[in-house]
Structure 1
Amino acid sequence: MNSAPLDLEAPASWPEVLRAYLAQHHDFFLDWETKREWATGAGYDRAVYGLESLLRQYSLVGWHCTRLTEDEIAHIRSGGMQPMDAAMLERRLDAVVAAGLLTETMAGKLKARHQAREPSRAGRVWFCFFPPRHAGELGIGRFFRHWGGEALYNSHEDDPETGAALRSVGVPCVIEALVPLSSLGSLGFLPEKIARRHLIAHGHQTVEPIDHEGAITSPLEAARIRRTALFPSRKFGELTGCDGWRAPVAG
């Protein structure tokens, strides 16, 4: 696996084998994205599958927006990240009870209602592969205001009691990591977005999205954690753009 990340903003820096593939299929991708005069769906699928196969050997810089305790941040720095599941969520709740951050009664209420067993959430850690500030307060603000992750606070953020408890735990944090594309359960529409970035770099206009989000489904080792930017550090502000938000980032 190539440990060097693809710089999505600089297609000219991409590895020669990737640039050669995109050059070979340039006219096809261009027709599909603009006119669709002769590019067929079957041919497009073959081109995309070939591009996906190439991409899986590379990595991207990704950012995970969350709220964590000091102990959790230290554990990620030393041990990496593990995909979330219900058992992990319950262990985290037990840990904050042991640290005196929540009562056992409150933890019991939180354990009784969450979404960590849902197929769309279990076994995943989500990253955006663009600077988080591009998503704005509407896109990322909620991640920082409640501890426990979306699978927990989705069920509690509007509850006056449990929502307030989740806002009392942890510190807003952005985890920057070098994410192997082979660790994503699915590349989703990343190949198409790479093709669009190639076309844009060659002077063409596209209308479909080029920014990408994805979820790892396997552990991410500590060596791939590049930094943890904590609120209210300057780096946190640069990554999130939170200084211009309407609501306080710390909740």
Structure 2
Amino acid sequence: MLMDPVGLPIVDVDVPVTWPAPLVGLVGELAEAARRLGHAPENYQDVDLVPYEDTALALLEGHLVRARHHTRLLDHEKDAIRSQGLRLLDARLVSDRLDQAHKLGYLTEAEHETLRTVNETVPGQCVPGRREGQVCLTLSAAAQLHHIHGIHRLLTYWGGEAIYWQHCEGSPALATKLRSLGVPSVVSALLDLATPGRQRPSIFPSLVHVFVGKALGHDPADADVFYKSSIPPQRIESIVSPGDVAYDRFPGLPRG
């Protein structure tokens, strides 16, 4: 379902005609240098490009960059993203999701209690800095086409990694329940990656690597983005699930 557009120019790493001209020039030079050094397109991550990351980000100032968040959503959670945007992962978000699912009858009392007390926002149960305080996205639709970044599991188990991670392998009954909740959903969001003073996201391998990988002709080139700010509703571009054309064009994605 498409939502309201945003006025700033939108850059999509998969669509070179959306790249700002100065960025096209930089990326073209870096890609040509990589070719001269004999780098195969699929080895784009091995090219020494990190020194150019700040320059690439600066060239995106005044633009928004399209990214994708992969998850499973219940209907009311889709409505919440449309009205509130994507929130940073923290204990409050996990608690809100679990409480609402329980209130609406999706979780039993026992399931609610187990998930509330065993998840990766509970002190002592998580790897510090691994997931909390960020929104996780990918830059390219390549993840949906080439099944990279582990998105299949994100689209299969409800709740996100913070909720399902400790249960999908060792708790068969609860894992089955988590697979039954919600529908696979891809949330397209528009990110400000370059505004001075904004907390800089972590991008791996790097933003410039993705652009150069695409310029070298390696379609699966992609990066994980760990965005450090909530994403407001006006920058949620779409939420698509099975039955939507934008989802169904990737036939390998989970259907139910």
TM-score (norm 1): 0.77
Q: What is the aligned partner in structure 2 of residue 71 from structure 1?
A: 76
Q: What is the aligned partner in structure 1 of residue 207 from structure 2?
A: 190
Of the candidates 31, 34, 37, which is equivalent to residue 35 of structure 1? 37
How far did 1:221 drift? 1.0
**Superposition pairs for residues 86-235 of structure 1, below 5 Å?**
86-116=91-121, 117-118=126-127, 119-131=129-141, 132-136=143-147, 139-158=150-169, 159-182=171-194, 185-188=201-204, 189-198=206-215, 200=216, 210-235=221-246
- Is the contact made by 1:67 and 1:147 (CA closer than 8 Å) also made in structure 2? yes
How far did 1:66 drift? 0.8
Which structure's relative contact order is higher, taking Cα pairs within 8 Å and 6+ residues apart? 2
How far did 1:136 drift? 2.5
Aligned AA for 2:203? L
- After superposition, the C-alpha distances for 1:205-234 in whole angstroms (9 at most, x for unaligned) are 7x7973222121101111111111122434
How far did 1:147 drift? 1.0
Compare CA radii of gyration and give the structure with the larger one: 1
Size of the aligned set, in residue pairs, is: 230
- Is the contact made by 1:59 and 1:179 (CA closer than 8 Å) also made in structure 2? yes
- After superposition, the C-alpha distances for 1:178-214 in whole angstroms (9 at most, x for unaligned) are 222247522331113323444x3xxxx7x79732221
Contiguous gaps of at least 5 residues in structure 1 = 37-42
Instruction: Give me the whole-angstrom Cα distance separating, in 2, the residues matched to 1:133 and 1:121.
Output: 21
- Is the contact made by 1:82 and 1:125 (CA closer than 8 Å) also made in structure 2? yes
Instruction: Give me the whole-angstrom Cα distance separating, in 2, the residues matched to 1:45 and 1:62.
Output: 21
Pairwise CA RMSD: 3.0
Instruction: Give me the whole-angstrom Cα distance separating, in 1, the residues matched to 2:91 and 2:157.
Output: 17
Secondary structure, counterpart of 1:181 in structure 2: coil
Instruction: Give me the whole-angstrom Cα distance separating, in 2, the residues matched to 1:86 and 1:193.
Output: 32
- Is the contact made by 1:145 and 1:172 (CA closer than 8 Å) also made in structure 2? yes
Indicate the structure with greater helix content: 1
TM-score (norm 2): 0.76
Contiguous gaps of at least 5 residues in structure 2 = 1-5, 39-47
